Structure 1
């Protein structure tokens, strides 16, 4: 069972739980934290104890001289990163007692991480709706836009998460790629398979051609012109960066993809040129009502061919 935080959610963000060793070379919990977070100012960290900002499991504030071994877990609020609001907005597509579905813009991560805290879909949505129990049921890459589902309350979260775990959700994506010189539309539709591996501390996933495929995508062409190819993608698995890797392997690397086929390195966000990948639709049978559900994006890919042009 999950350990409940003694501190309430603040500005849409929950408190951080830290496991503290019960024995060791540190006389106090404060001394352990100074050693653990060596990059922080020691006195600044200890002053947080003095202000009652570091608490035990029952919510009791701890002192800077609380001995090691008194508490195994402590809670505190992280100092938020300095953020400039990203110039993109979420759109709520659906809301009921159990589900919230949004249209996520490009550049906004699904959950907090690194330099993104308030600039995440989860925290923005919690603050917008005043619901601190919201939690993502699945995720989209920061660079990907489109349909994203959240659980509205923990009591009914598990059945929706199980849909994704058991692949009972049909996902449909669109992508736009630069048209290759040797473009041959007769190859499509096709199903592409390979084995994708995510290694720790690596930004890109790796492909292992010696192993049985664990990633599969059905790909068909929506349209093409002299510049670009617009594809419809139906992933049959959910590996990290799967669609981006599969299109790159077909010489159809997605426009403005910073990772595939070549890692471009960290650059400032170019809001005028988002990666051209869109989570277009989610189809599933609701596990609570047994009713069919379809949620669709209202967004389009700016570099897609204009029909009839």
Structure 2
């Protein structure tokens, strides 16, 4: 169980928890936070202490003079950023007492972070359903569209999270890539391997890096089965069955096979950050989820209603 917040969910957004050092060169918690958040206006931050907006685990307000060593954590609400509206809506595919499954559009983040707060799937869904207990059971990259599952009740959340931890959820994706230069329509293959093929490597997310790092010297910790769906004279359409769930795994695996996903600004080449081009979504879709319900024992299956815009026309 995570540490409970002393502040309730507000406008669909939970309070942020910050760990505070027990000692150091700062005379107070406020001084530490001013240095920690150096990019913010310090006087504006200090006024939040004056208004009682920075609280301890018991909900009591800290002051500008609260010393280090009194509290291990503090909580506060993030000040809403000026957000660019994401002009796409998630569709609710399933809702019951314990689970909510949505079809997430491209560009919408799963949870609040960075430039996005209200424009996140979690906050939009909490506000739409009036349920502050909604919590994502797994994640999708902001750029990826498709199936996303949420827990609706804390009492049953752990049972569903355990399914993902034990890899007992069958996840199926599809992707569209530019046709590799060495593509042979008479003998379809990627990176010298005929379909279906399995790609394995070791993926690690390093703090401060937006891309993951692949270490060929280490034991593989990421595995994907790649199957051929279709192709035309421009693009390749593949079905992806990840055995593991590493960050950016599918994007990396197709890129390493010479078939980087269409409109991917990270792999194989990291492109300069630019405003979203809503006409060019990443061509990656979380297509299917299957598992045995841990509460009822019944099989569950969910399938996206979305399609990838650059997929080959059905022959």
TM-score normalised to the size of structure 2? 0.92
Matched, 1:71 2:78: no
Cα distance in 1, alignment partners of residues 112 and 27 from structure 2: 33
Matched, 1:163 2:170: no
Report how many aligned residue pairs link the two structures. Answer: 308
What are the Cα deviations for residues 66-93 of structure 1, in whole angstroms up to 9, with x where unaligned?
A: 3444434322212121112111111111
What are the Cα deviations for residues 25-71 of structure 1, in whole angstroms up to 9, with x where unaligned?
A: 44433333333333332322222222222223222233333344443
Distance 1:60 1:210, change over 3 A: closer
Cα distance in 1, alignment partners of residues 96 and 217 from structure 2: 46
- Deviation, 1:252, is 1.1
Cα distance in 2, alignment partners of residues 249 and 31 from structure 1: 47
Distance 1:34 1:220, change over 3 A: closer
- Deviation, 1:208, is 2.2
Matched, 1:210 2:232: no
Name the structure 2 match of 1:245. 252
Distance 1:288 1:67, change over 3 A: same
Name the structure 2 match of 1:58. 58
Matched, 1:188 2:195: yes
Name the structure 2 match of 1:142. 142
Name the structure 2 match of 1:111. 111
Cα distance in 1, alignment partners of residues 220 and 205 from structure 2: 14
Matched, 1:197 2:207: no
Greater mean alpha carbon deviation, residues 204-213 or residues 170-179: 204-213
| Counterpart selection for 1:294 from 298, 301, 307 | 301
- Deviation, 1:222, is 1.0
- Deviation, 1:24, is 4.1
Distance 1:64 1:162, change over 3 A: same
Cα distance in 2, alignment partners of residues 85 and 162 from structure 1: 34
Greater mean alpha carbon deviation, residues 67-76 or residues 269-278: 67-76
Matched, 1:98 2:65: no
Task: Report matched runs for 1:76-95 at 5 Å.
Answer: 76-95=76-95
What are the Cα deviations for residues 179-232 of structure 1, in whole angstroms up to 9, with x where unaligned?
A: 122213152122222222222222222222223322221111111111111111
Name the structure 2 match of 1:256. 263
Cα distance in 2, alignment partners of residues 250 and 270 from structure 1: 26
Secondary structure of the structure 2 residue equivalent to 1:245: helix
What are the Cα deviations for residues 253-306 of structure 1, in whole angstroms up to 9, with x where unaligned?
A: 111011111111211111011010000000100011110000110000000111
Distance 1:200 1:29, change over 3 A: closer
- Deviation, 1:22, is 4.1
Cα distance in 2, alignment partners of residues 179 and 30 from structure 1: 55
Cα distance in 2, alignment partners of residues 189 and 24 from structure 1: 56
TM-score normalised to the size of structure 1? 0.94
Greater mean alpha carbon deviation, residues 294-303 or residues 217-226: 217-226
